[in-house]
Structure 1
């Protein structure tokens, strides 16, 4: 049995599941891109595997197609900065990705077209993300 996840979402009701699976994903700023010509926003991250029985992470890709515009807010300057993805929220006319520290990306799109796909097998980790504060 494969431990790799692949989910496709086409409506706002699909986003809470994808958001929960991507919560606490660690992503470098340089691994986030918007291709205006292709109307595609994508990122590659080390996703914490909340669905697993043991603490582990895996390399995952998250892609939104049909994106007309991407607007960043509170964005770090350094490309090697690592952001923690907190939530993916549907909004009127698009989707917002919220990161720890106040950074966010608002994607304008007429419809939801998202794919979450694990790119490699999992590896163990000693720590579990904590949200006590």
Structure 2
């Protein structure tokens, strides 16, 4: 399928909300989360559900994407499996909690099952890039409790 690939940047909380909507329900493999302390960059490779192309009845698609944050001061995680690189999690939401003194703050990635990654940043500098290609997926993510 020929699909237009996203390339989004965020420098404030409003921009990050747009990226957050695009990455909701992305699948994350623990082994594809990386924090490069020297470069001060946090990167995660994801299998992103293409909400922008999803109708009510499909067809549905996912695309390989890279989500990165620069100017990272530190990263903390809780309830994220560390015992295997193959552990898979679903990204529920992405948000920004600003410090009292701008422009710094904490980016929070909330994962299904209660996992969380907190990324302390000097300033908000995020990029989401679809690296392609897209592929079909049979299900649309569903948030109904059932």
**What TM-score do you get using the length of structure 2 for normalisation?**
0.87
Q: Residue 120 of structure 1: CA displacement?
A: 0.9
Q: Residue 125 of structure 1: CA displacement?
A: 1.1
What's the RMSD between the two structures over aligned residues? 1.2
Aligned length: 133
Note the residue ranges of structure 1 that are not aligned, 5 or more in a row.
Answer: none
**What TM-score do you get using the length of structure 1 for normalisation?**
0.95
The correspondence of residues 39-50 of structure 1 with structure 2, limited to 5 A, is 39-50=40-51
Match in the other structure for 2:73 = 68
Question: 1:59 & 1:116 partners in 2: Cα distance?
Answer: 11
The correspondence of residues 20-35 of structure 1 with structure 2, limited to 5 A, is 20-35=21-36
Question: 1:10 & 1:72 partners in 2: Cα distance?
Answer: 23
Q: Residue 121 of structure 1: CA displacement?
A: 2.4
Note the residue ranges of structure 2 that are not aligned, 5 or more in a row.
Answer: 99-104
SS in 1 for 2:132: coil
Instruction: Deviation per CA, 1:18-56: give whole Å up to 9, x if none.
Output: 011000000100000111111000000110000004310
Match in the other structure for 1:114 = 126
Larger Rg: 2
